[in-house]
Amino acid sequence: MGLSTSYGTPLDRDYAIKILRAAVERGVTLFDTAQVYGPFTNEDVVGEALAPFRDEVVVATKFGFKLVGGESGGLNSRPDHIRKTTEDSLRRLRTDHIDLYYQHRVDPDVSIEDVAGMVKDLIAEGKVKHFGLSEAGVQTIRRAHAVHPVTALQSEYSLWWREPEEEILPTLEELGIGFVPFSPLGRGFLTGNIDQDTTFVDSDFRHTLPRFDAENRKANQGLVNLVKRIAEQKRVTPAQIALSWLLGRKPWIVPIPGTTNLERLEENLGAVEVALTADDLSDIEQALDGISIQGDRYNESTQQMIDR
């Protein structure tokens, strides 16, 4: 997402393609995009970048937004809309199939059974391989899974957003569904490079998020200090600790850190070499229990799109 939208000025297309291909060369096999990223431009960049490696990688994208004149006009997961936008995604991605197809947000005006039924048809036609959901609640997951097996749920999960541990993770484990945490670095906050004095340009959507208010950033600094302290002990970076923590939770959890430069790509990939012991994880757990995170993660209008 960050290559094309939401985090300031979009990257130069050639450099974005360079980053994606560098990731392939370093062994990355899962690439995540969405129709709404840009909108549309990110799917096109991903499609061009991965075309030479299409058989070696898994491409995930998402449907479910109504896009008018290049702007989001709310949700739309009607079956006819899903079918049309699927054809558009296939064209932009330069492929004949989507490996993992997520409903981007649960549409309260369309039954999840109808959504799952449409994706099931697309799978039968060979245009989609696997069905996913994003930011879906437990009952929605169960209802969708009853129509067609859900392969993965993508939702936010990190050291500073642990709500999925309450009901989502036990449900996924019960049903055999994988979990793909987005924003595993807390939209950059867990790297230690953001503090109360950091400013965001208008095109960086973090300036709209309550959790990124200056006062909340200051209040949440205790979490960053914890991550930094552990990183110093392990002689790695805070980002690598945050990613390693997620990788150590469950073998079926696959975080998807975004990046806009090659240096950070290398840093993120280094997380797989960081070994957090059971004692390390226990110590982190105890420390986290004493930290209260301040600020909502979304503004009110965006929060209304989260299925609970």
Q: Does residue 242 register a pLDDT over 70?
A: yes
Give, for 111, the enclosing helix (H) or strand (E): none
Q: Say if 179 falls within a structural domain.
A: no
Q: Say if 171 falls within a structural domain.
A: no
User: Do 57 and 152 reside in the same domain of the chain?
Assistant: yes
Q: Which pLDDT score, from 0 to 100, does residue 82 have?
A: 98
Q: 3-class SS at 181?
A: strand
Average pLDDT, the chain: 95
Could you tell me which residue, 32 or 199, shows the higher pLDDT?
32
User: Do 228 and 282 reside in the same domain of the chain?
Assistant: yes
DSSP string over 115-161: HHHHHHHHHHTTSEEEEEEES--HHHHHHHHHHS-EEEEEEE-BTTB
pLDDT (tens digit per residue) in 18-76: 999 999 999 999 999 999 999 999 999 999 999 999 999 999 999 999 987 766 779 99
User: Do 1 and 142 reside in the same domain of the chain?
Assistant: yes
User: Do 5 and 147 reside in the same domain of the chain?
Assistant: yes
User: Do 2 and 149 reside in the same domain of the chain?
Assistant: yes
Q: Please compute the mean of the pLDDT values over residues 212-238 and round it to a whole number.
A: 95
Q: Say if 90 falls within a structural domain.
A: yes
User: Do 50 and 151 reside in the same domain of the chain?
Assistant: yes
The confidence band for 304, taking pLDDT boundaries of 50, 70 and 90, is: confident
Q: Please compute the mean of the pLDDT values over residues 145-158 and round it to a whole number.
A: 98
User: Do 85 and 216 reside in the same domain of the chain?
Assistant: no
User: Do 149 and 238 reside in the same domain of the chain?
Assistant: no
Pairing of strands 98-103, 71-75: unpaired
Q: Does residue 102 register a pLDDT over 70?
A: yes
Q: Which pLDDT score, from 0 to 100, does residue 157 have?
A: 98
Q: Say if 52 falls within a structural domain.
A: yes
User: Do 147 and 238 reside in the same domain of the chain?
Assistant: no
Enclosing domain of residue 263: 186-252+259-308
Lowest mean pLDDT among 2-11, 185-194, 282-291, 297-306: 297-306
Share of the chain above pLDDT 70, in %: 98
Q: Say if 178 falls within a structural domain.
A: no
Q: Please compute the mean of the pLDDT values over residues 224-238 and round it to a whole number.
A: 95
Catalytic machinery residues: 37
Q: Please compute the mean of the pLDDT values over residues 112-132 and round it to a whole number.
A: 98
Q: Looking at residue 235, which CATH number applies to its domain?
A: 3.20.20.100
Structural domain total, the chain? 2
Share of the chain above pLDDT 90, in %: 84
User: Do 2 and 151 reside in the same domain of the chain?
Assistant: yes
Q: Which pLDDT score, from 0 to 100, does residue 12 have?
A: 95
Q: Which pLDDT score, from 0 to 100, does residue 70 have?
A: 67
User: Do 1 and 141 reside in the same domain of the chain?
Assistant: yes
Strands of the sheet with 98-103, listed across from one edge: 30-32, 58-63, 98-103, 128-134, 150-156, 178-182
CB environment 76-105: b (16+ within 10 A), e (fewer): bbbeebbbebbeebbebbbbebbbbbbbbb
